[in-house]
Amino acid sequence: MKALNVSSKQNERLTKIVGNITFLFILALFAFILIFSLIKMNRPLQTLPSEEFLATANKQNDFLSVANLGYFSIRTMFRMIVGMLWSFLFSFVFGLLAVKYKTARRIILPLVNFLESVPLLGFLTFTTAWLLGLFPENVLGAECVAVFAVFTGQAWNIMLTLYQIMEVIPSDLSNVTEQFKYNPWGKFWRLEFVYAIPGLLWNVIISQTAAWFALVASEQASVALPKDTTLFLPGIGSYIQIALDRADFKACLWAVLALLLNVVILNFLVFQSLVRATYYFKYETDVESTTPPKSIVYHLLKNATLTKQFSKAFARFSSFWLYDLPKIWYFFKLDRLYRLVAKLRNFFKTLWYVSLALIVINCSIKLYHFLPHQDFSMIPRLTLYTTLRVTLAMIIAGVIFTPLAIWVASDNRRLNFVQPIGQILGSIPSNVYTPFIVLIIGMGFNQLQWWILPLIMVGCQWYYFFNVIAGYLAIPDDIRDVTKLFKLSKWHWWIKYLIPSILPYLITAIINAAGAAWNADIAAESIQWGKRSINVTGLGQYISANDGIKDKSALGTLAMCFMVGLCIAFIWQPLYRAAKEKFHY
């Protein structure tokens, strides 16, 4: 018996030591990535390699050398982390404003839905010069471009998810906060934020797909030194782009392996642990009886001494954040100032709409004179072709991946096995599939240009998969038990129970998938493999062909934005209202 006690104590001590080492390793790893990248960034812009210099392979220290992928991974991971942090900050500020204030919601939701579907090239066309100007002739400016691209790939999705989840919080939970007389600050942090975390984590995982796609396009910047040239930042995205430009299939495979390794490390160290840690945040009556997802890192950190000390420090900070900080608000009588400003909300609302109208009129006049009038006649035809392709790809992706997500989410073991695989596959940008598409086309399978649909689907299908999983997991267990009692047929089970239950998440999936599909279409309609170009007639091909020509790029982007605006006015907004009013617990 004594031997067993000694053995158990030794195992417990060993577990704590390993947990402490794991904690320090994770902390040191991310600190190294941040500090090392910051040191490497503060350099003259001229030190970056140009497109002309990288067009041919160098015998010594070539850009596509496999040995460079370790350094490139560190730089790319830095951009991913910083872009994610900015995305979270944006989402919490504007998502909370959209939920709490009707006037802000009328502005923020259409704007974010609009920005969700603006192609990445549209953002980069108008922001690259400004971001480079923040740090003139310094690599930091180009880094800002790449981080902003990662931000645009994640922020809209995360913000819409936060808004959508907070809008459908069960009324009985809200009633409890009212009975305990929580102030708005306490209600947000103790109910709304906690309730939103599981779905939010799933959507952060989804957003990695768009972020990796953005990095391929943004780890290069067009500058004037003194002539226009394209410079490449060190990173996996630029490595993939150079491999495509040189038609180097072997380098593409090495880049994919490096990308997948980065995704696996990030998932293993961060996302799996967070999903496991927030598992019991789900709104279920018998959550204790279900099997939580497994995470080796979470198990090690849970028993670590350093983690417990960190938890105690975090508890003290939480107490200050929840209870002491609001006292400062009331001490300085800021609540009275807020109520005074609230009385003037009609004035500010009128001022905002008048200012917005004047800005729109002014910009419209300037755009009309700026845009190439000779191309106006072809834009409707190109828009029609692209819209049909995007719509068809989204329908096929939804029909395939919605039932697949339900099948995966209905079993915890299946979910724990498939979710990491889905995250890894979803992180591969559509550009990487170019060599395989070129191979298929070379075999003669290019009739009707059907191969463009899989490339578009790759960009949007994972939004259906992960959003539907999040929606299914959010269904309370008592609702599932009731459906079993009624013994519904498969048709009624889908129509009467499942689709209404996951509709808010499905709407978010469709909106996010639409934005990703438009971005993927631009890359799919104009494929570059070495010196060979494969083009398909459409709006995406028009934007890609005129990349760098600001007036034509603006015209193509505005045409896409016009289609998005129609969808916002006649599809997304009505669906949002329906989901909020009819389909929530």
Q: Is the pLDDT of residue 8 over 80?
A: no
Question: Cβ neighbours of residue 190 under 8 Å, at least 6 residues apart?
Answer: 177, 182, 322
Separation between Cα atoms, residue 137 and residue 231, nearest integer Å: 12
The closest of 119, 87, 91 to 564, measured between CA atoms, is: 119
| Predicted local distance difference test score (pLDDT) of residue 28 | 92
The closest of 215, 221, 77, 79 to 138, measured between CA atoms, is: 221
> CA 461, 464, 465 angle in degrees (round to 5)?
85
Q: What is the pLDDT of residues 461-516, one digit of tens each?
A: 888 888 888 788 877 777 777 777 777 778 878 887 888 888 878 887 887 787 77
| Stronger pLDDT, 172 or 533, i.e. the higher one | 172
Q: Is the pLDDT of residue 224 over 50?
A: no
Q: What is the mean pLDDT of residues 285-298?
A: 68
What DSSP character marks residue 271?
A: I
Separation between Cα atoms, residue 575 and residue 472, nearest integer Å: 19
- Token output for 195: 């309730």
* CB neighbour burial string for 553-573, b if at least 16 within 10 angstroms, e if fewer: bbbbbebbbebbeebbeeebe
The amino acid sitting at 117 is S
Q: Are 106 and 569 in contact (CB under 8 A)?
A: no
- Token output for 467: 């959003």
Q: Say whether the peptide bond before residue 435 is cis (omega within 30 degrees of 0).
A: no
Q: Say whether the peptide bond before residue 226 is cis (omega within 30 degrees of 0).
A: yes
- Token output for 41: 């960034």
Q: What is the pLDDT of residues 109-164, one digit of tens each?
A: 777 877 776 767 667 767 777 888 888 888 888 888 888 888 887 888 788 878 87
Confidence of residue 32 (pLDDT cuts 50, 70, 90): very high
Q: Are 291 and 412 in contact (CB under 8 A)?
A: yes
Report in angstroms the alpha-carbon separations of 67 from 71, 82, 432, 556: 8, 25, 20, 40
Separation between Cα atoms, residue 63 and residue 239, nearest integer Å: 7
Q: What is the mean pLDDT of residues 444-469?
A: 75
